[in-house]
Amino acid sequence: MAESARSDILARLRASSSPATKEQIEQELVALGFAGAAALPAADHCIAFMANVLANRGSVELAADRAEAVRVVGRYLYNRFRTHKLVAGNDPRIAAMPWRDAGVLPRFGAAENGDSAALSYARLGVAETGAIVTWTGRANPGRNNLLPEDHLVLVNREDVVANLEDAWRRIRQDLPAGSWPRGITFTAGPSSTADVEAQLVMGAHGPRRWHVILVGATPTEALAEARALSGADAT
């Protein structure tokens, strides 16, 4: 049954498709080029990225380096949950951070139902949409983005790209041939729904809060500017 469906469908498509060689099709495709990206709210990629994260109902903090990132994460966990419990994938970048300094002892591995907070180290940030990019694997199991109440994300300043096409260019660069992961996800906000009376509610199935920490030397005025651009209040 299935095999006949396959050959039947392919035969029908061959009949309705225009005849061309592989090379001609490839040339035609290259000539089409790529789409234009959305206008950025600010010329500086990091400011635009932060403004869009805020517009996506995420929250943003700055950390000059990994030591400060540890303190920022510790403070966030204490303020939110009065604990220092955290789950994180086996990302060497996270493992190498001085967690003891902030009293945080991450459990390394996959998130479980009931975990309050998970930390991911994003591969990329995308200024155009305020998204962060992760892929599945030991360093960030797929469920870590989805099961916890709060999803915390570290992203390096130098990993913030301008737009979605640049993001794919980097993904292709960073993933050697044959090592394509099971899943690549662009996350742009806490899990949300507007299915009841078109009213937006956070925490539909996944994280209720999404906290992005931009790691690297960023002046605090940049965050203030991003807040002003996103329309979020400056508190």
Within 137-176, the residues that bind another protein by CB under 8 A are: 137-138, 141-143, 145-146, 164-165, 168, 171
CA–CA separation, 84 and 78 (whole Å): 6
Q: Which is nearer to another protein, 19 or 100 (CB)?
A: 19
Among 16, 79, 173, 235, binds another protein (CB under 8 A): 16
Question: Whose CA is closest to 60, among 114, 123, 110, 132?
Answer: 132
> Nearer Cβ to another protein, position 78 or 168?
168
The binding track of 32-71 with respect to another protein, each residue x by CB under 8 A or -, is xxxxx-xx------------x--xx---------------
Task: Establish if 98 lies at the interface with another protein (CB under 8 A).
Answer: no
Q: Counting contacts by CB under 8 A, is residue 198 touching another protein?
A: yes
Contact flag: residue 107 with another protein (CB under 8 A): no
Q: Can you tell me the distance from the alpha carbon of 181 to that of 205, in angstroms, rounded to the nearest whole number?
A: 24
Under 8 Å CB-to-CB from 69, ≥6 apart: which residues? 63, 97, 154, 213, 215
Q: Does 93 bind another protein (CB under 8 A)?
A: no
Q: Taking the complex as a whole, how short is the minimal distance between the CB of residue 207 and another protein, in angstroms?
A: 8
- 51-54 — which CB contacts under 8 Å span 24+ positions? 51/130, 51/225, 51/226, 51/227, 51/229, 51/230, 52/127, 52/128, 52/129, 52/130, 52/131, 52/188, 52/230, 53/130, 53/212, 53/226, 54/130, 54/226, 54/227, 54/230, 54/232
Q: Tell me: does residue 23 bind another protein (CB under 8 A).
A: no
User: Considering only residues 174-193, where is the footprint of another protein by CB under 8 A?
Assistant: 180-193
CB closer to another protein, 69 vs 118: 118
92 scored as a contact of another protein (CB under 8 A): no
Residues contacting residue 18 through CB under 8 Å, at least 6 positions apart? none
DSSP class of residue 142 equals G
Q: Out of 20, 64, 67, 224, which residue is the one contacting another protein (CB under 8 A)?
A: 20
Under rule CB under 8 A, residue 224 binds another protein:
no
Q: Does 101 bind another protein (CB under 8 A)?
A: no
Q: How far is the CB of 156 from another protein (least distance, A)?
A: 20
C-alpha dist (Å) from residue 184 to 114, 137, 161 = 24, 10, 16
201 touches another protein by CB under 8 A: yes
